Amino acid sequence: MDHVYVIALACLGFTTVTMLQATILGTALPLVIRDFGIDYDLMGYLFAFWVIVSAVASFALSGLTRRLTVPKAFVFTLANLSLSTILTAISWNFTVLNIARVWGALVAPFIWPLCAMLVTTYAGGRLGFVTAVYSMGSMHGLVLSYVFLSLTAEEWRLATLVTGLLGLAYLCPLLVVFRGCSSFSIGVGGRGVENAENHGETSGLSERLRWIMIFLSLGHFAAIYTWNFAMSWLSTFLTRDIGLSYGLIAAYMILATAVASVWELFNGRYIDRASGVERKLRVLYAGMVPSALLLLLTLLAPSSHVAAWLVSVSLLFWRSATPVLWSILGDLVPPSQLSGASSAYMVAVFLSGITSSIITGYLIAITGTVKHAILLSSLVLLLSPLSYTLAARGVRPLRRALEQAEQGIRSA
């Protein structure tokens, strides 16, 4: 088998296991709240706190990960996340549970950058397809959290313990696959800043780029807001509000995930072959808009089974658009500014997680239902493709300004 696909499948396993560990507590949230006797608004504040820890760790610990080789960085991340998950399972009080989740939050921000770093090294012209392969781990991990809770008869501690042990077990195949990669170290070059200085951008150019980044970050914020809701709060709606079992939810989601995986791979191939932002915007609209509308329709569903189908298909459409989210950033931002733009893009992810956690927890606490949070999440998601469109409209003036700046430098 081509080594590119071996690495892609290894990263798929890595993202599946780590996302399973990241989502298991959110999926089991109604059971956890019943066990510890806490309120939903407090849980929302804690989810937000854990996201803040991840945001701080992504900057504070980045120097440590850069000094590690690729295999060591993967092992470091997965081992710490697995051990924190095991501590979550055996936590004897709520303080220990919080310590365990903070521990996991310290390494969680490095899951996707590690995979992106590795596949960028090997993928070549198949970057979109390979990225789609390991991105499927998000949905796979979420679905497996429902499967594990169903198989363990909704014993959330046992399901969480199995999840942590599975992560430790996956370290062995990871090391086998990454043997020979030890010569690669993780680090980001600084050429982007250097190029920016050489371009000598004008204040007008900086202003245009600032507005493009505002719209890009807003679009990313709106897209990830819904995914954060799905990871942390969706099970509360499906099990508590409409009374479905974890097993039935898992069955619906397995079918949707099978279709979503094929669709996501197809879109990854399409992105590799597509030229121009307009085609990628079509993929974004084709995924995000139906996803938001289907999520809205769950509020009007005549039965719990219909609601479960609508939610599953909504996630299917959302996942189909995900290969575009990072690909379009490289199309809309000049290479000299890509490093800073990526950091702003990640800040939008953290802000989305914080906002989603606090608002959703508060809405559930004051209304006693998740329905108002679903309504808000759907409306926020509709802002995503619109924001990306506004960012794309600002690219042409930016490119003209770049060309004029370069011509000025040459003439000087």
Pick the closest to residue 333 from 219, 223, 226, 225 (CA basis): 219
Alpha-helical regions (H) of 274-337: 277-297, 304-332
Around Cβ 184, how many Cβ atoms within 10 Å? 16
Contacts of 33 (CB under 8 A, 6+ apart): 39, 40, 43
78 neighbors 170 (Cβ within 8 angstroms) = yes
- pLDDT of amino acid 95: 93
User: Whole-number mean pLDDT of the chain?
Assistant: 83
Residues 58 and 101: their CA atoms lie apart, in Å, by 16
Residues 209 and 200: their CA atoms lie apart, in Å, by 14
- pLDDT of amino acid 73: 85
pLDDT (average), residues 99-117: 87
Give me the DSSP letters along 142-166: HHHHHHHHHHTTT-HHHHHHHHHHH
pLDDT tens figures, 68-86:
777 888 999 999 999 999 9
Q: What's the full length of the chain, in residues?
A: 412
- pLDDT of amino acid 55: 87
pLDDT (average), residues 334-363: 81
79 neighbors 171 (Cβ within 8 angstroms) = yes
**Domains of the chain listed by start with CATH number:** 1-180 (1.20.1250.20), 202-412 (1.20.1250.20)
Q: Report helix, strand or coil for 69.
A: strand
pLDDT tens figures, 275-318:
667 888 888 999 999 999 999 999 999 999 999 999 989 998 99
DSSP, res 239: I
| Token pair belonging to 155 | 């014993």
Pick the closest to residue 108 from 263, 240, 231, 274 (CA basis): 231
Cα–Cα–Cα angle for 151, 166, 352, rounded to 5 degrees:
85
pLDDT (average), residues 152-164: 95
